[in-house]
Amino acid sequence: MTSPNDIDTLRRDGLREVATIGAGHAATALSQLTNRRIMISVPHVHRVRYGEVPQMVSAFGDHVAVVAMRILGDLTGRALLTFGEYDATRLCDLILRRPAGPPRALGELEQSGLKEVGNIVCSAYLTALSNFMGMMLLPSVPALTIGPTAQAIASMADPLEEASDLVFCVDTAFRAEGTENPLTGAFLLMPDQASVRAILEAIRID
């Protein structure tokens, strides 16, 4: 008989498979955008409670960039891509094809670039999940918030999601060809309560 712990392990394995496929698609698209080979590793997929999200994101520093997209279609909720301020600056330098520089204020051009990266990465993960579940998932236009970690996360808060105990977090590391240090961030899948059951049912033992 399969134990609940075994089921949780298999669900995590299923999510890791989905995340790996999504990361591969995102890496290909970002490589085309930057004209450099981009590799994305998916070292860990885990589940956290909604209330734990601010503390988890604070691991990226006191200031973060958060790209958020609404999920529309057969499931609803939000998808977030988060980076610390320093890695957000490095990412902008990469996609704008300019030499790496120190952390600085991100202007309109940089913010547009971050939204495009968020759109690429979130869409890649959602497409992989959509194909896995056989459901239609559509991302909205991305929104960007840059600022102190607690304020940035609070600005993205949705009362419909606060009761949910299911937030999937994909730790994501970007590495550009010719660079030593990866850019680390996290992709967060935050379904509303009505969509939680559908996801857990899809990632099940046959």
**The two three-digit tokens of residue 154, written as one number:** 């609070």
- The secondary structure of residue 97, as a DSSP letter, is T
**The two three-digit tokens of residue 71, written as one number:** 């999920």
Output the pLDDT for position 167.
83
Total residues belonging to the chain? 206
Q: From CA 93, how far away is CA 115, in angstroms rounded?
A: 14
Looking at CATH, the fold of the domain delimited by 4-202 is given as Chemotaxis protein chec (3.40.1550)
Q: Per residue in 51-95, pLDDT tens?
A: 888 888 888 888 999 999 999 998 888 899 999 988 899 888 888
Decide: 164 and 192 in contact? Cβ < 8 Å.
yes
In the chain the beta strands, taken as DSSP E runs, fall at: 38-48, 63-73, 77-84, 137-139, 143-148, 167-176, 183-191
Is 37 a residue whose pLDDT tops 50? yes
How, if at all, do strands 77-84 and 183-191 pair? antiparallel
The letter for the amino acid at 146 is: I
**Average pLDDT rounded to a whole number, residues 96-122:** 87
Instruction: Give the residue among 187, 42, 206, 202 at the shortest CA–CA distance from 126.
Output: 187
Q: Where are the domains of the chain?
A: 4-202
